[in-house]
Amino acid sequence: MANTSEVLIYLLSQPPAALAPVAFNFLVPNLKGLQNFLKTSDTDNFPNSPSKDPTIMPTPPPSPEPEEIGDTGEQRPIKSTGDPNKDSVQPDKSFISNSMEVSLFTAATETFSKKNTNCTIAESLERCRPIVSLAKSRNIRVRGYVSVALGCPYEGPDVSPAKVAEITASLLEIGADEVSVADTTGMGTAPKTQELLKALFGAGISAKDLALHFHDTYGQALVNAVVGLEQGIRTFDSSVGGLGGCPYSKGATGNVATEDLLHCLHSLGATTGVDVEKMAEIGNWISKELGRPNDSRTGKAILARLSST
């Protein structure tokens, strides 16, 4: 298996072709981790844009054609069964470079913080300061995470929303561009998610500065995501095929499956720019590669339908 540096070098030297700029996100556990990241990425040999092969679509795609624009001037939503790539755009000579961003973690409970990062919450925030400072000096976007915001495997399901809001505000004050508030254990419910968002907004935190991250351990991730959507959140973490878990939370499954989240969002009329059928194919492929079950209900349903036609 390739190590982190090898993966980083591969992604930077051979960025995939895409219809929109790609942000490569890397977790940095401490300042040394960011310094090593910069040492590896600091070279003129790495193009931030995809291959110039004329058969490969550059980034970003051209603007929508007039017939793709609705009466209000907004691009029409992409439906779950639609292919946003098929016959909609043609190669263009212009492109926008891909970008890199780094992620750093803290937690909403002291016990989980010590188990996961071997330090207290206060110590973890202090560790974040020089990481954010160095990243900002290099114009690298920073994403913070607050783990176990809706339930802790050690301290139980009743995590203080006020504490989560306090930590989230601290990360933003340090300089994080966005904070993903994470239900690491999947203990979150719709009422608890509403209560948490009320505390976050009450602390003066804007919805545009937040993302939500729901594990689907108890089958509540989509329900909680819709609650967030109704409250103005527009950024959600997900994992293709429902991959993931948490070594410090027994029984925790992966994030909400990307395919399931896309189907839900599209059914509500949201525009994502992602083709759910292609995502289902990716989920099927990666699950087979890893020798694990495909945990996306939508993905399996789409594949069954496609195989019968």
- pLDDT for 246 equals 67
Reply yes or no on whether the pLDDT at 92 is more than 70: no
Least confident of 30-34, 126-130, 211-215: 30-34
Region of poorest pLDDT, from 40-49, 97-106, 232-241, 285-294: 40-49
Residue-level pLDDT at 251: 64
Question: Per residue in 200-247, pLDDT tens?
Answer: 999 999 999 999 999 999 999 999 999 999 999 999 999 999 998 766
262 pLDDT exceeds 80?
A: yes
Confidence (pLDDT) at 8:
80
In this prediction, residue 252 has a pLDDT band, given cuts at 50, 70 and 90, of low
The two structure tokens encoding residue 277: 């059928």
> Which pLDDT does position 192 carry in this prediction?
98
φ, ψ of residue 105 in degrees (nearest 5): -120, 145
Distances 33 to 105, 176, 211, 283 between C-alpha atoms, Å: 13, 17, 24, 30
258-267 vs 276-290: helix crossing angle, rounded to 10: 160
Assess whether pLDDT exceeds 60 at residue 68.
Answer: no
Using an 8 Å Cβ cutoff, are 33 and 5 in contact? no
pLDDT for 254? 83
Q: What pLDDT sits at residue 250?
A: 66
The model's pTM is 0.82
Res 174 pLDDT > 90? yes
Quickly state the pLDDT bin for 182 (edges 50, 70, 90). Answer: very high
* pLDDT attached to residue 6: 83
| Residue 254 or 2, more confident | 254
CA angle 259, 263, 269 (to 5 degrees): 145
Residue 139 region by backbone torsions, left for phi larger than 0, else alpha for psi between -120 and 50, else beta:
left
What are the residues whose beta carbons fall under 8 Å from the beta carbon of 41, sequence distance 6 or more? 8, 12, 100
In this prediction, residue 48 carries a pLDDT of 52
Give me the amino acid identity at 30: N
Three-state secondary structure readout of the chain: CCCHHHHHHHHHHCCCCCCCCCEEEEECCCHHHHHHHHHHHCCCCCCCCCCCCCCCCCCCCCCCCHHHECCCCCECCCCCCCCCCCCCCCCCCCCCCCEEEEEEEEECCHHHHHHHHCCCHHHHHHHHHHHHHHHHHCCCEEEEEEECCCCECCCECCCCHHHHHHHHHHHHHHCCCEEEEEECCCCCCHHHHHHHHHHHHHCCCCHHHEEEEEECCCCCHHHHHHHHHHCCCCCEECEHHHCCCCCCCCCCCCECEHHHHHHHHHHCCCCCCCCHHHHHHHHHHHHHHHCCCCCCHHHHHHHHHHHCC
Highest mean pLDDT among 13-17, 74-78, 109-113 belongs to 109-113
Instruction: Report the chain's mean pLDDT, rounded to a whole number.
Output: 84
Is 128 known to be catalytic?
no
| Higher-scoring residue by pLDDT: 55, 97 | 97
More confident residue, 84 or 96: 96
Residue with more model confidence, 49 or 176:
176
pLDDT at 45 (0 to 100):
53
Q: Which two tokens stand for residue 35?
A: 């310094």
Among 79-93, 155-169, 236-250, name the most confident range: 155-169
Model pLDDT, residue 149: 98
Query: Which residue is catalytic, options 119, 128, 152, 246?
Result: 246
Which pLDDT score is estimated for 81? Answer: 43
pLDDT band at 126 (very low <50, low <70, confident <90, very high): very high
Q: Give 58's pLDDT tier (boundaries 50, 70, 90).
A: very low
